[in-house]
Chain A
């Protein structure tokens, strides 16, 4: 009977909502602007992995000048970035147990050291005491990589920074 149960658990674990594993990796660098006890603005920088970057730059830098002009930037926003709305831009902001619907502003695509960069801002007033932020792709197709040193927090005392990184982003 014990083996039957193990077998059953084994088979159940194979039924998941995602049948993929990450093929693209994004290093996430969030910068949090704090005023008093509120987050006023979040600046997010995504750096795509080298292989995916090369593939996308080849396709998106139409005039191959190593940078994105206004038209190319608009094209990337409309055809590549906006569609990530379905995944809430891989950003989970939970405020008082409710997930926040993300509306990104000031999107800018650029190229740095052969890596594709997406930068955008989230402008919402969020109470830091009730806010947690996480970055993930539920489908597991993209690996969102967040390290403690990637996070910057402005507008607060230096001694509070580590504690806020843990409290908001859950990093130790």
Chain B
């Protein structure tokens, strides 16, 4: 078993333990321990988000491709990481409450179907973002950096990565809904997303740091790196689209 597999196995083990802990804690909430148990659930949800996002995910890949191929500040990595996780959480909450209260039956089948549809939408948007970055980097190769255009592509990246609702968040929210812990469900989704946002941001910071060390190579031809980033993002979108084909 190679190092990467060992790392993934360890992550799965941690998530399994946290998953058990979070469900038993939510189930054990009663009038007497309401506050302490709820706070414990939120703490565990944060940790769950932190570890959950450390596994393979398209959000991190997108952030890494973007930040390792264009000039950015560390604070921008936090901004983008948290924007993705906020959209991720809103999308998960809307879909869970929507399916549960509107469709009500066949939750799991709708859940899987809608997750797949949102993944395809996300893949389509990632492809467009890739094309946009390639074209805008090529067309503005003679100009100085255009901040407005970069901001636009950042929002597009955050939206395309975040629109896929996290099934992990949805499962916890649904579990809370079924136990009539509605507020706790929403708060757990938020804290889990804060944890995920931190992990995604750290990947962004690592990418910026690597980029700073390698930038001198492309000092006068920064647009080439940006085009490479666009190509990587485009390839990621195509890969996600092929993985999530409807049967």
Name A's B-contacting residues (CB within 8 A).
3-4, 6-7, 10-11, 13-25, 49-52, 54-56, 58-59, 79-80, 140-141, 143, 145
Contact = CB atoms under 8 A, between A and B. Distances in A.
Nearest to B229: A11
Nearest to B59: A19
B140 interface: no
A23 B167 contact: yes
Given A11-B64, A22-B12, A50-B23, A17 B213 contact: no
Nearest to A143: B12
A18 B58 CA distance: 9
Given A11-B64, A55-B178, A143-B16, A50 B171 contact: no
Chain B interface, DSSP helix/strand/loop, else mixed:
helix
Given A55-B108, A59-B105, A59-B107, A50 B24 contact: yes
A19 B235 CA distance: 14
The 8 A-B residue pairs with the shortest CB-CB distance in the complex, in nearest-first order: A21-B55, A50-B23, A14-B61, A23-B167, A3-B213, A19-B58, A143-B12, A51-B175
Contact of B68 (A7, A51, A52): A7
Given A51-B175, A55-B108, A3 B4 contact: no
Contact of A51 (B4, B13, B172): B172
A56 B175 contact: no
B210 A6 contact: yes
Contact of B20 (A18, A49, A58): A49
Contact of B56 (A3, A21, A52, A56): A21
A51 B23 contact: yes
Given A21-B57, A50-B20, A7 B210 contact: yes
B213 A25 contact: no
A21 B52 contact: yes
B19 interface: yes
Interface stretch (B71-79, B128-136, B146-154, B236-244): B236-244
26 contacts: A3-B210, A3-B214, A6-B210, A7-B211, A11-B232, A17-B243, A19-B57, A19-B58, A19-B61, A19-B240, A21-B11, A21-B15, A22-B55, A23-B171, A25-B15, A49-B16, A51-B22, A55-B107, A55-B108, A55-B178, A56-B108, A59-B105, A80-B108, A140-B55, A141-B167, A143-B16
Contacts of A25: 15-16, 19
Nearest to B216: A3
A20 B207 CA distance: 21
Contacts of A13: 4
Given A11-B68, A55-B171, 5 more contacts: A7-B211, A50-B24, A51-B19, A54-B178, A59-B108
A4 B243 CA distance: 29
Nearest to B228: A11
A51 B168 CA distance: 10
| Residue from B109, B206, B214 whose CB has the most chain A CB atoms within 10 Å | B214
A77 B168 CA distance: 25
Contacts of B13: 145
Contact of A140 (B8, B64, B168, B232): B8
Nearest to A142: B12
B217 interface: yes
Contacts of B64: 10-11, 14
Nearest to A170: B1
